[in-house]
Structure 1
Amino acid sequence: MTEAPSRAELLLAQDVSEVLEKELTARFRDMGVSEIRVRRTLGHRGPAELQWLVLASLPLQAFLAGLGSEAVRDGYAALKKLVARVFRRDGSAEDAAVPRPLVLQDERTGLRIVLEPDLPQQAYEQLTELDLTEFSIGPVHYDRTRERWRSELDEAAG
């Protein structure tokens, strides 16, 4: 059985509240991450430069395998709740107008997985079994039409 990684680094946008920061770290701990380092983006970046709200850098394959393991049986449900919470920051119209996802990034390869709101349960179940070696460029996102995780850039590169 694969163990969940023991460490993660969270890079948060400036507009993530301290309350959400504490909730994020608690949820990652609930999913088996024991050591969490939290940093904030630089305040002088423009809104066009930042596409995500939370970037979590961790040993991604181990994290995903840990979510699917029996020890963390409800891991994908916890991750789904975490993604929903990130999107529900304060419910303002401004938040809804500019959706910024939670992104998981492999600390070794830099491959990113984009977690969007309202992904179906099937997406999270597939995510825990995803073989990241199938992707080289990324980002990887869930294609609702094809009902699978994919990287359009990898596909275009052949």
Structure 2
Amino acid sequence: MTDAPPRAELLLDQEVPDGLRRELVAALDALGAPPARVRRTLDHRGAADIPWIVLVSLPLQAFLSGLGAEAVKDAYEAFKGVVRKAARPAEPAPGALGAARPARPLVLRDQATGLDVVLEPDLPAEAYDRLVGLDLTEFAVGPLHYDRALGRWRSVLDEATG
């Protein structure tokens, strides 16, 4: 019996346009992520039920380790741009009632541990630089967020449990 090769899972909110879906798949493919199975959230769920706009589930530590390679620098820059585009709130139609929706992040989920890394659209460059060297074994519980004041990725829940 052989093990199936790892796959990435890409779960998209209904609001994500097809063009952006294609960009996300291409960006992940260019970075060497396993082939992605793409699904969309169910129509009957409300936007308030989903705090993220895109959830990418993959063997995260291997993916992050590969991002540091010189050969993928251009692909990594493209990936950061797609993250910003995906998480940016949609502009309300002119004359539409209601406030603009807040930005919702793209979330990377490690398939092995279930650990989530939250990528907000306005992350500074150093957050991505530190993400490449992130050792997921240092964390027991997520989600991980980038702390701008401390200049590091952290899990508040890990810190709270000691």
TM range (shorter): 0.7 to 0.9
Q: Equivalent residue for 1:126?
A: 130
Q: CA deviation at 1:92?
A: 3.5
**Contact preservation (8 Å) 1:76, 1:125:** no
Q: CA deviation at 1:33?
A: 2.4
Q: CA deviation at 1:112?
A: 0.2
Give the alignment partner of residue 108 of structure 1, picking from 101, 112, 116: 112
**Mapping of 1:38-77 within 5 angstroms?**
38-77=38-77
CA shift digits 1:10-61 (9 cap, x unpaired) = 0001111111111111111121225111011111112221000000000000
Higher mean C-alpha deviation, range 87-96 or range 46-55: 87-96
Give the distance between the partners of 2:103 and 2:41, measured in 1 at CA: 17
Give the distance between the partners of 1:75 and 1:143, measured in 2 at CA: 25
Q: CA deviation at 1:121?
A: 0.9
- Identity over the aligned pairs, expressed in percent? 58
Q: Equivalent residue for 1:35?
A: 35
**Contact preservation (8 Å) 1:138, 1:154:** yes
**Contact preservation (8 Å) 1:12, 1:38:** yes
Gaps of 5+ in 2: none
**Contact preservation (8 Å) 1:60, 1:107:** yes
Q: CA deviation at 1:74?
A: 3.8
Higher mean C-alpha deviation, range 84-93 or range 98-107: 84-93
Gaps of 5+ in 1: none
Q: CA deviation at 1:95?
A: 9.0
| Number of positions where the alignment pairs a residue of Structure 1 with one of Structure 2 | 154
Q: Equivalent residue for 1:153?
A: 157
The residue identity in structure 1 corresponding to 2:125 is Q
Give the distance between the partners of 1:46 and 1:96, measured in 2 at CA: 16
Give the distance between the partners of 1:142 and 1:86, measured in 2 at CA: 18
